Structure 1
Amino acid sequence: MTKFKLFYHKLTHWEYWPYQVLYFPVYFQYLYYVIRTQSFFFFNASNPTIKNGGFFMESKKEIYDLIPQEYYPKTIIVTPDESLETILQKLTSENINFPLIAKPDIGLRGTAVKKIHTTEELITYHKKAKFNILFQELIPYENEIGLFYVKLPNQSGKITGIVSKEFMIITGNGKNTIRELLNQDIRYVFQIKALEKEYNDKLNTVLKDRETINLVPYGNHCRGTKFVDASHEITPRMVESFNTICNQIDGFHFGRMDIMYNSYEDLAKGKNFQIVEINGAISEPTHMYDPKHTLLFGWKELTRHFHYMYLISKHNHKNGAKYLTFKQGIQEFKNHHKHYDRILEF
């Protein structure tokens, strides 16, 4: 596939556009809200118990600690200087077995998220990481969604959108290599360079007829997952269940919950699911990235949700939640970029 064809596909499919371009209308909306709140960092108050409201430098582990244990997978946090013996002891004490998921405690759009199968892979990951790591048990459910939850002032919470995630699952035909099969789907072609680093010569394997492999077992758009709008699955029963769940998460008012689940029927009843993670003020209404949606639809969803965040932040501020000062906010941005540089080196 030629470079021009890849470039043209990105140019004509807005889901691939850089966020700096995609968010153009939101910049004006943001400046308006800055004037109204007299704060450049008003969004800090959207989720008062989450660092910076979940906009930057928030710890996933600290957010997990807000969630009742039954709703998320067993997780340990490890620093770069901890010994292998200590890590294995922690895993054993929490009964976390291989395979497991490793990821940065403070993440960057799926960067450095990896499925770990053996102690040797764990050692390699830990030696390479210059950041705090979460090791997490594998969730037993196969399906994944992003569920956007908003709790506006003096109202019950509501689900404003659901995105279904179609993983990068390759099905063999007994003839073509994995690499050749990847080249048949332009969405996957964009991921080949990253997959080469992870799988090396395995991409030259020929899968048996109807044999499948999930090359990226976590639903991240930047890693090749297709996002499909499943907002039609929202029901009053599901809203009721998630109000019950989210009311147990202190200070959570706005954000997207990435969830692995068994079926929508069970999810609506609030059972047979686990929360992969909660994203706060930085959350996108990712159902907008469904290829069937127009750019205007995307802008409408972005500005709608940004307005919700503004209303929630302003209300929480009146009730005691603090906005970051300008000096504090600038320092947090500097910390944010330093940390992400460490992740990008991974």
Structure 2
Amino acid sequence: MKVLVTGCAGFIGYHVAEALLARGDSVVGLDCLNDYYDVRLKQARLERLRRQAGFAFHHLDIADKDAVRAVITGNDDIVGIVHLAAQAGVRYSLVDPYAYVHSNVMGHVVMLEAARRLGRLRHMVFASTSSVYGLNTEMPFRETDRVDTPVSLYAATKRADELMGHAYAHLFGLKLTGLRFFTVYGPWGRPDMAYFSFAKAIMAGEPITLYEEGRLRRDFTYIDDIVAGVVGALDRPPEDPCPPRLLNIGNHQVEEVRELVHLLEESLGRKAIIRSAPKPAVDVEATYAAIDAIHTLTGFTPSTPLSLGVPRFVAWFREWQAKISVG
């Protein structure tokens, strides 16, 4: 089938597009290749996709409704959408809040409008985030929990996406699934995320900052497990459009951040220089995903513990750092 993947040069988008191509689907990829982090990494992901048959790329901003409409007009046989493009990152929302409204709110509306104009569309899957759980303290987080206490603008925009999805499902019968991702990591990952920046600093002999001495807890989820869940959800549209489906997608395993650092030290063969600092207001104490719903739907069963995922990331990280160091 033909699937539209937004954010195809991003971390999750690249891996999802690769998996769809590997099973024989054709992929129409959209990405603006912005400079939020090293564009060389996005370009390298994109180049790997371009080598594969069945991949077509459009360099555009998803908030540009005319550009997106032109792509849709030329690809009216699209039957699935995986909408992953967004302005990511919790702390950066303190620096440039407008980028989040532009990409995550306007961009999401543009994609919903595009979806309702595709006559053959069977299902649209879109990225939400564990950050929507905000100040919730009851663990694990469940899709039935209230999510009205965000602690970052990023979380607020992603919750807005879920609510706009509900409106479009009600009004136009769109079949939608929102996936609440929990701390995704692995090869080809994002340099702005802690595991990547920690690895880079440890390799360079530079200090890293651990909030609350590394006692914050996260549900770290390996990229291969995430991809299996995304594709599994895409293949199973909801029977009824409204309400749209919301699913946690995580590892269902909580680890302290200091354990992540310990595994990075082991894999890199170097000790970290650690500085401690109080938790920023935009960070939460812990995340922990209940995954009963996505397991029942797709059979989703994460199989990669942090102890296996971190060495796999480090093996790729060494290769990437060597590549960019020689230009």
Q: With structure 1 as the length reference, what TM-score do the two structures score?
A: 0.29
Higher normalized contact order (CA 8 Å, seq sep 6+, divided by chain length): 1
User: Highest CA radius of gyration, 1 or 2?
Assistant: 1
Q: With structure 2 as the length reference, what TM-score do the two structures score?
A: 0.30
